[in-house]
Chain A
Amino acid sequence: MKTKTKNIKIYCDITKCIGCRSCEMACAVEHSKSKNIYNALKEKPLPKKRVKAESSGKIIISLHCQHCQDAPCITACMSGALSKDEKTGATIQDKEKCVGCWMCVMACPFGAIVRDVENHIAVKCDLCPDRDDYACVVACPTGALFAGTEEEFRKRIEEKKAKEK
């Protein structure tokens, strides 16, 4: 498995997201036991997605954990389940430690941490530790999702804008 490098997170190009929720589906499947859509649907409890396509009128964004530098969820976590991966800067979760107190849900300004009520733990984007790439990015049919650094994403958007002109 490829080691994921520093400061990578999932970005969404708002101008390209059309709310198809393919990312949500791919995320749930990736976090299932079988990693297969048909079998995933039979799992109990059903696998939980950690990304959400959200909308406000015409604006649609596929929203993921932003892996904040000074993460409010880590500050709020009273069980020590959330922490920073010193190598990658990612906000990581030790599921074993999570008790489902929802303090992180209360603290996350993006609403990117969701409750897995059946397992009574909080779940969030873990940047797909079981694969080299990112399930949502691969599934995105419009290329709205992008995994990389802020610089890379900004470059991509600027290039797109330049092309449009």
Chain B
Amino acid sequence: MKYVIIGGSAAGVNAAEVLRKNDKKCDITLISEEESLLYSRCLLTYLIAGSIGEEKLYFKDRDFYKANKIKTYLGKKAISIDRKKKEMLLDDETKVLYDKLLIATGASAKTVDIKGADKRGVFTVRNIEDARRIIKMLDKVKHVVVLGGGLIGLKDAYALRVKGKEVTVVVRSQHVLSQMVDPEAATIIAGKLAASGIKIETCVAAKEIKGKGAIEEVVLDNGKTIKCELVIIGKGVEPNVEIAKKSGLKVDQGITVNQYLETSDENIFAAGDVAETRDIARGTPRVNALWPCAVAQGRVAAFNMLGKKQIYEGSLSMNSVDFFGLASISMGITKPKEGGSEIINATRGENYKKFILKNNIIVGMVLVGDISAAGVISVLIKRKIDVSSIKDMLYEDSFNYAKMLPLVRKFKDKFSEEEFRDTVISYKL
């Protein structure tokens, strides 16, 4: 069997690992546009902040490909797929044959379409090269403008503030992290950022990036100008679907897949930031471009490529950030649009908890400050557990696994794994 994987990040590498583990003899080929080996792009802002060195970016051993006998085309781009011939063409005109193909091309940073966006000193932070270039010029930079108040923008801003830069975040929405959390949580998080010296401008957008050669300032659509030597575009990502589109696969926001992560072509699978999977909380297809989803999808896709049918349980939007010691986690639906949902929340200083329930099933949560119960809640969300018996305890700081023990005992089929069963072996009522 010939297995080919396009993409060398979370989904691609995990898929390769599963393939090799389960089939010692098959041919595995991995194609990646990036030459750097197996690094975690989520850690790039940690690198910029100086809290880790470059060596910590690598999430697999350097000899991973060799040890797993994976043939690689690094620094190469796949440009087309001939689905009939089951053959791919790379940008150096190499042809690669496959029996089963995994598209794990990931996503690219969104850019902005404003005057001056092409100037030197305007960056996105998507790959290791971006990070290296930013780090290189940091000595000469005093002021930074970050365009975008989402998770990516704020992580960029945080990293640069840690490096002592004067950072201004330009946010189009009314509050930061508008995709991730509700206004209450956003206010607490923004407060923490502001207290640490990050300036946040909301309800505005950048109109132009000015400067002769090097950047000098950003002009906002309210007429205000902000002096800066570096502009970071932190606007989120969009799936790299070109090759899928070109080869006629069904594509919506991302590549459409079924519960086996199979695309509209039975020999082609998709996983990671490029795949549009069923969102557990929402019940509709969605691209959840997140590391844990990519890892899980890569692994499930690999099993299905091997012919060992495995259903992907679905993805869940979830994020964890920590700014200056203030941790925040969000999961699922945080700002329910339609009615019919029940909201439980509690605030205590910098601690904020919010749970969104539908028919006594948690579909979303926001935790700021005390995040210790996040994992326990996450399993209640993922497994759609009726929490009516413990609803009154959810928001308590003391909420923990012990509180859901009766549910683990009651819903045997929903907690069938050995590790859950193990905790109730001695539990009798």
Q: Which residues of A contact B (CB under 8 A)?
A: 9, 11-16, 52, 54-56, 59-61, 63, 66-70, 72, 75-76, 78-80, 96-97, 99-115, 117, 120, 150, 153-154, 157
Contacts and interface: CB of A to CB of B under 8 A. Distances in A.
A55 B402 CA distance: 6
A111 B375 contact: yes
B312 interface: no
A111 B408 CA distance: 14
Contacts of B292: 72, 75-76, 78, 103, 107
Contact of A69 (B52, B320, B402, B417): B417
B378 A80 contact: no
Given A102-B320, A103-B292, A150-B418, A56 B405 contact: yes
Interface string B25-68: 00000000000000010110010000110001011100000000
Contacts, number: 153
Interface in B373-429: 373-376, 378-379, 393, 400-403, 405-406, 417-420, 422-428
B402 A150 contact: no
Interface residues of B, number: 49
A106 B419 contact: no
Contacts of A111: 372-376, 400-401
Given A54-B401, A61-B405, A76 B423 contact: no
Contacts of B422: 9, 11, 66, 150, 153
Contact of B401 (A63, A96, A104): A63
B75 to A, nearest CB: 22
A97 to B, nearest CB: 6
B372 A105 contact: yes
A79 B40 contact: yes
Nearest to A9: B422
A164 to B, nearest CB: 11
The 4 A-B pairs of least Cβ separation, nearest first, read: A80-B59, A109-B379, A54-B402, A108-B375
A153 B425 CA distance: 8
Contacts of B93: none
B371 A79 contact: no
7 contacts: A11-B425, A15-B427, A56-B400, A79-B43, A102-B322, A103-B320, A106-B378
Contact of A106 (B299, B331, B400): B331
Contacts of A68: 417, 419
B320 A14 contact: no
B21 to A, nearest CB: 10
B73 interface: no
B300 to A, nearest CB: 11
B329 interface: yes
B340 interface: no
B60 A80 contact: yes
A69 B373 contact: no
B56 A99 contact: yes
B171 interface: no
Interface string B197-215: 0000000000000000000
A157 B423 CA distance: 12
B59 A109 contact: no
A61 B376 CA distance: 15
B426 A15 contact: yes
Q: Which of B40, B59, B292, B372 has the most CB of A within 10 A?
A: B292
Contacts of B418: 69, 150
Contacts of B56: 79, 96-97, 99
Interface in B52-93: 52, 56, 58-60
